[in-house]
């Protein structure tokens, strides 16, 4: 019993035949183990009251609850010296022989079902006022209804504990089935969880005794035949938990599978945290039972992460057609136990995973602390990753380990580890190998301009020869880097020298302000994308010098002046080649087209490489996201 003075009654409607209202049992009512003799027949008990010694033996306590047929109160049995629960028929029913018969039949059925999960009956009799009563074990605990409410608020009742209790309920119901008894009113209010792990199935007031060749029948009295007869179309049980055949009033179809359906509905409520059939009226509950939707707790409550084994157990137990349901309550219990056997291993793995996740978090905190040296950070990060891997290997859903993994991936390192730096350098060398063939082709294309220069007329053959020698050196440097891995480390130096010399000398064609800046830009793009970050200042300086150095040399009169300013016009004065009209136009056109085309091709190739790298990174990030969800 809970400590409440007033019992909490079942909220969903309980329906019974007109002559026999179904009892509404308190959520906190419970009873104690039956010893005693075969109860007398109904006729004997309902005869003239034999109340001698009743008042002396039973000392009344507080009320525990009430139902449709009787009230339950705590009494102290002074003869044996224990507290019992006494159910007494209500005053208005004392003269109703049919109700008195059903009341005593409940005591007889419950008393003959000797099972640890079925509350035993001690005594059947009448009070001095002439009211039939029976005494039972006094329970202390809470109903499954209250346990589910507490569980939804995260208090006390874990899913594993509820499932273990539910499995015991299934076995108790299966025992009753083996004795030919169908409960017909299984619901959370009629399941009691004791304070010390006990589980009880309450309220056998509307139970049906069904003889079967496979059943060990309950001992019957002649009057039971009439009491067991239920008119077709009458409803006994609680809407929302009754099987479809119960709702239809198909009494002849009721068997153990009807109770299995009710158990499936209860299991749904344990897993989903809500009722399977909802409705404010009888009509709505009946419609939901006969036209079920959303029978899968996994789909109804995805946030509760219902295991597929349990989800399937609910679906099989709550099939509309009896032949499609789980055949027995024991089979349903075995399905739960199979899951729990595996869940015990999962529980151990979860505990171990938490230990690894906590260790990973500790290593992460050490790694990101301000006073951690780069070496210490790398060591702690490596340990954290190992612990994360161990945690996720034991429990893929461990949120703490996933959180540590995300932080490890999102928090930048103070210094790149030696192994990672070596991998990065290898990747850079591979990039240089892929782009070297383009560089060799670009430098080689300058030799296609030689016929044009000869057509225009060369004024300084030695300088033109030096220009093309520089281009040949640059092309050779790229070719060596393409063909030989070791040459890639020295490739940028060779190409830098060749391109710098070539760009300075080419200023002799159109001066340092036209051709050199365009060529320097294209050249710098390729070199910046394939060189180490440390070389970038040198690349910037040399690229700028290709423009400024010729201007400085011309100002110092070391090189001939390339421009003359007359009346607001700029006159280009080439000193390397001549400018005949046709040849010059052809050469300038070819040069412009070549620069534009080569720029698009080179930048496009690099864009393709970056896109590939980005796709790999995005794919990696997506895969990591799937792992940490």
What confidence tens digit (pLDDT) does each residue in 93-127 have?
998 988 898 899 889 889 889 899 999 999 999 99
pLDDT on residue 522 = 80
Q: Is the predicted pLDDT of residue 293 greater than 50, yes or no?
A: yes
Q: Is the predicted pLDDT of residue 626 greater than 50, yes or no?
A: yes
Strand duo 70-77 + 58-66: pairing: antiparallel
pLDDT on residue 10 = 36
pLDDT band (50, 70, 90) for residue 471 = confident
Contacts of 74 (CB under 8 A, 6+ apart): 1, 60, 61, 62, 63, 64, 83, 84, 85, 86, 138
Domain for residue 485, yes or no? yes
Domain for residue 593, yes or no? yes
Considering the domain architecture, whether residues 401 and 436 belong to the same structural domain is answered as: no
Q: Is the predicted pLDDT of residue 316 greater than 90, yes or no?
A: yes
Cβ neighbours around 298 below 10 Å, total = 18
HSE-CB of 390 using CA atoms within 13 angstroms: 17
pLDDT on residue 604 = 82
Considering the domain architecture, whether residues 525 and 606 belong to the same structural domain is answered as: yes
Contacts of 437 (CB under 8 A, 6+ apart): 478, 482
Considering the domain architecture, whether residues 529 and 586 belong to the same structural domain is answered as: yes
pLDDT on residue 241 = 96
Q: What whole-number percentage of the chain has pLDDT above 90?
A: 30
Q: Is the predicted pLDDT of residue 592 greater than 70, yes or no?
A: yes
Considering the domain architecture, whether residues 360 and 490 belong to the same structural domain is answered as: no
DSSP 282-316: HHHHHHHHHS-----HHHH-GGG---HHHHHHHHH
Last residue of a domain, one of 410, 437, 453: 410
Considering the domain architecture, whether residues 478 and 594 belong to the same structural domain is answered as: yes
Domain for residue 606, yes or no? yes
Among the listed residues 319, 530, 545, the one whose alpha carbon sits nearest the alpha carbon of residue 439: 530
Q: Is 195 in the active site?
A: no
Considering the domain architecture, whether residues 404 and 484 belong to the same structural domain is answered as: no
Domain for residue 475, yes or no? yes
First to last CA, the chain: 43
Q: What are residue 23's phi and psi, to 5 degrees?
A: -70, 150
pLDDT on residue 172 = 95
Angle, vertex CA 484, rays to CA 478 and CA 490, nearest 5 = 60
Bridge partners for 192 per DSSP:
143, 200
Per mean pLDDT, which range of 49-53, 318-322, 497-501 is the poorest? 49-53
**138 touches 33 (CB < 8 A):** no
Considering the domain architecture, whether residues 603 and 528 belong to the same structural domain is answered as: yes
Q: To the nearest whole number, what is the mean pLDDT of the chain?
A: 81
Of the ranges 167-171, 234-238, 521-525, 573-577, the best mean pLDDT one: 167-171
**141 touches 30 (CB < 8 A):** yes
Buried b (16+ CB within 10 A) or exposed e, 325-339: bbebbbbbbbbbbeb
**258 touches 30 (CB < 8 A):** no
What is the dihedral angle through the alpha carbons of 574, 580, 583, 585, rounded to the nearest 10 degrees? 70
Per mean pLDDT, which range of 13-27, 208-222, 441-455 is the poorest? 13-27
pLDDT on residue 270 = 96
Last residue of a domain, one of 410, 437, 457: 410
| CA atoms of 72 and 64, how far apart (whole Å) | 5
Give the pair of three-digit tokens for residue 293: 């939707």
pLDDT on residue 486 = 60
Among the listed residues 130, 136, 166, the one whose alpha carbon sits nearest the alpha carbon of residue 148: 166
Instruction: Give the number of domains in the chain.
Output: 2
Range of the domain at 477: 429-615
Among the listed residues 1, 54, 57, 56, the one whose alpha carbon sits nearest the alpha carbon of residue 26: 1
pLDDT on residue 3 = 36
- Host H or E run for residue 62: strand 58-66
Q: Is the predicted pLDDT of residue 31 greater than 50, yes or no?
A: no
Of the ranges 166-175, 469-478, 502-511, the best mean pLDDT one: 166-175
- DSSP-derived secondary structure letter, 323: G
Strand duo 58-66 + 82-89: pairing: unpaired
Considering the domain architecture, whether residues 351 and 481 belong to the same structural domain is answered as: no
Give the model confidence (pLDDT) of 332-353 as tens digits: 999 999 888 876 666 677 888 8
Instruction: Judge residue 277's burial from the number of C-beta atoms within 10 Å of its C-beta, 0-12 exposed, 13-18 middle, 19 or more buried.
Output: buried
Considering the domain architecture, whether residues 395 and 444 belong to the same structural domain is answered as: no
The alpha carbons of the chain give a radius of gyration, in whole angstroms, of 46
pLDDT band (50, 70, 90) for residue 485 = low
Cβ neighbours around 48 below 10 Å, total = 7
Give the model confidence (pLDDT) of 131-162 as tens digits: 999 999 998 889 999 999 988 776 778 888 99
Among the listed residues 340, 278, 330, 287, the one whose alpha carbon sits nearest the alpha carbon of residue 309: 340
**395 touches 353 (CB < 8 A):** yes
Q: Is the predicted pLDDT of residue 480 greater than 50, yes or no?
A: yes
Question: What separation in angstroms does the CA of 622 have from each of 45, 498, 551, 612?
Answer: 76, 44, 53, 15
Considering the domain architecture, whether residues 608 and 508 belong to the same structural domain is answered as: yes
Considering the domain architecture, whether residues 460 and 592 belong to the same structural domain is answered as: yes
Considering the domain architecture, whether residues 357 and 444 belong to the same structural domain is answered as: no
Which is the catalytic residue, given 77, 185, 224, 259? 185
Domain for residue 115, yes or no? no
Per mean pLDDT, which range of 33-47, 161-175, 361-375, 504-518 is the poorest? 33-47
pLDDT on residue 211 = 58
Average pLDDT of the residues in 435-455: 81
pLDDT band (50, 70, 90) for residue 35 = very low
pLDDT on residue 488 = 55
Domain for residue 105, yes or no? no
Q: What whole-number percentage of the chain has pLDDT above 70?
A: 84
Q: Is the predicted pLDDT of residue 46 greater than 50, yes or no?
A: no
The gap from C-alpha 212 to its chain's centroid, in whole angstroms, comes to: 47
| CA atoms of 133 and 88, how far apart (whole Å) | 4
| CA atoms of 573 and 510, how far apart (whole Å) | 8
Q: Is the predicted pLDDT of residue 225 greater than 70, yes or no?
A: no
| Residue in this structure with the two tokens 């079920």, named with its chain if needed | 292
Between 373 and 39, the higher pLDDT residue? 373
Q: Is the predicted pLDDT of residue 501 greater than 60, yes or no?
A: yes
Among the listed residues 41, 181, 215, 192, the one whose alpha carbon sits nearest the alpha carbon of residue 112: 181
Between 466 and 435, the higher pLDDT residue? 466
Contacts of 444 (CB under 8 A, 6+ apart): 471, 475
pLDDT on residue 50 = 46
Average pLDDT of the residues in 266-290: 94
Domain for residue 23, yes or no? no
Domain for residue 366, yes or no? yes
Q: Is the predicted pLDDT of residue 48 greater than 50, yes or no?
A: no
Q: Is the predicted pLDDT of residue 13 greater than 70, yes or no?
A: no
**364 touches 409 (CB < 8 A):** no
- Host H or E run for residue 14: strand 14-15
Positive or negative: CA dihedral 336, 338, 341, 346: negative
């Amino acid at each position: 019993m809970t400590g409440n003075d007033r019992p909490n009654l079942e909220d969903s409607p309980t329906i019974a035949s007109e002559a026999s209202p179904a009892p509404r049992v308190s959520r906190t009512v419970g009873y104690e183990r039956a010893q005693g003799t075969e109860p007398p027949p109904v006729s004997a008990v309902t005869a003239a009251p034999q109340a001698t010694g009743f008042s002396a033996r039973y000392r009344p306590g507080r009320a525990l609850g009430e139902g449709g047929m009787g009230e339950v109160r705590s009494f102290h049995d002074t003869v044996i010296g224990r507290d019992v629960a006494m159910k007494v028929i209500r005053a208005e029913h004392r003269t109703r022989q049919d109700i008195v018969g059903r009341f005593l039949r409940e005591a007889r059925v419950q008393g003959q079902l000797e099972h640890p999960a079925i509350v035993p009956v001690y005594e059947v009799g009448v009070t001095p006022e002439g009211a039939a009563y029976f005494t039972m074990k006094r329970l202390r605990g809470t109903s499954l209804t209250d346990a589910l409410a507490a569980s939804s608020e995260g208090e006390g009742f874990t899913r594993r504990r509820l499932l273990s209790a539910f499995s015991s309920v299934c076995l108790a119901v299966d025992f009753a089935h083996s004795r030919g008894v169908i409960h017909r009113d299984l619901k959370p209010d009629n399941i009691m969880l004791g304070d010390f792990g006990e589980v009880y199935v309450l309220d056998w007031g509307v139970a049906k005794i069904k003889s079967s060749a496979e059943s060990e029948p309950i001992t019957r009295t002649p009057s039971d035949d009439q009491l067991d007869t239920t008119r077709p179309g009458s409803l006994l049980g609680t809407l929302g938990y009754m099987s479809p055949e119960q709702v239809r009033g198909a009494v002849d179809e009721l068997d153990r599978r009807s109770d299995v359906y009710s158990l499936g509905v209860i299991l749904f409520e344990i897993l989903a945290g809500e009722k399977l059939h909802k409705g404010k009226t009888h009509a709505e509950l009946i419609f939901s039972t006969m036209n079920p939707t959303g029978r899968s707790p996994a789909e109804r409550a995805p946030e509760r992460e219902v295991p597929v084994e349990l989800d399937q157990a609910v679906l099989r137990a709550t099939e509309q057609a009896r032949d499609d349901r789980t055949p027995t309550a024991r089979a349903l219990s075995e399905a739960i136990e199979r899951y729990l056997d595996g869940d015990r291993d999962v529980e151990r793995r979860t505990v171990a995973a938490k230990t690894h996740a906590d260790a990973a978090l500790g290593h992460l905190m050490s790694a990101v602390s301000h006073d951690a040296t780069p070496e210490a950070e790398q060591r702690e990060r490596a340990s954290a990753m190992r612990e994360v891997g161990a945690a996720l290997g034991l429990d893929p859903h461990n949120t703490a380990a996933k959180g540590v993994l995300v932080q490890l991936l999102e928090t930048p390192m103070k210094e790149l580890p030696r192994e990672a730096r070596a991998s990065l350098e290898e990747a850079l060398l591979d990039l240089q190998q892929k782009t070297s063939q383009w560089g060799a082709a670009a430098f080689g294309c300058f030799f296609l301009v030689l016929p044009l220069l000869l057509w225009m007329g060369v004024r300084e053959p030695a300088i033109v020869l030096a220009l093309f020698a520089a281009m040949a050196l640059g092309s050779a440097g790229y070719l060596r880097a393409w063909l030989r891995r070791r040459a890639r480390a020295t490739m940028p130096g060779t190409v830098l020298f060749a391109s710098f010399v070539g760009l300075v000398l080419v200023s002799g064609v159109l001066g340092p302000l036209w051709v050199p800046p365009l060529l320097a830009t294209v050249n710098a793009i390729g070199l910046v994308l394939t060189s180490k970050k440390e070389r970038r200042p040198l690349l910037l300086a040399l690229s700028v010098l290709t423009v400024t150095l010729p201007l400085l040399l011309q100002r110092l009169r070391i090189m001939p002046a390339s421009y003359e300013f007359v009346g607001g016009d700029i006159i280009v004065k080439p000193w390397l080649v001549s400018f005949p009209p046709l040849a010059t136009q052809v050469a300038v056109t070819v040069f412009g087209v070549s620069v534009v085309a080569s720029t698009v091709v080179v930048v496009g190739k690099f864009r393709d490489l970056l896109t590939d790298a980005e796709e790999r990174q995005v794919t990696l990030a997506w895969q990591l996201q799937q792992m940490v969800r």
